[in-house]
């Protein structure tokens, strides 16, 4: 049984935003969560890497769900 508290994708987006990055999160039907960084095209690869790392950190602490 997973003991991590649940948060919604929207709440996870706000946590990422609080760390200085903007991203769109999607919770897929199979439970996989993906994040897409939002930013200028010339730096999107760097931003995506940072957003992926932030998402991993959040998922260590919380279980992200579509809605509660």
Q: Tens of pLDDT along 48-68?
A: 999 999 999 999 999 999 987
Q: Strand, coil or helix: what is 67?
A: coil
The answer to whether residue 41 is domain-embedded is yes
Domains contained in the chain, number? 1
Amino acid 65: pLDDT: 95
> Residue 33's domain spans which residues?
6-65
Q: How far apart are CA 46 and CA 49, in angstroms?
A: 5
1 pLDDT band (50/70/90 cuts)? confident
The model's pLDDT over 3-55, given as tens digits with 9 standing for 90+, comes to: 999 999 999 999 999 999 999 999 999 999 999 999 999 999 999 999 999 99
Is residue 1 in a domain?
no
Which pairing describes strands 63-65 and 23-27: parallel, antiparallel, or unpaired?
unpaired
């Amino acid at each position: 049984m997973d003991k991590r508290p649940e948060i919604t994708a929207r709440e996870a987006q706000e946590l990422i935003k609080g760390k200085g990055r903007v991203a769109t999160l999607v919770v897929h039907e199979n439970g996989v969560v993906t994040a897409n960084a939002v930013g200028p095209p010339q730096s999107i690869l760097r931003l995506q890497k940072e957003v992926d790392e932030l998402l991993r950190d959040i998922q260590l602490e919380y279980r992200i769900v579509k809605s509660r």
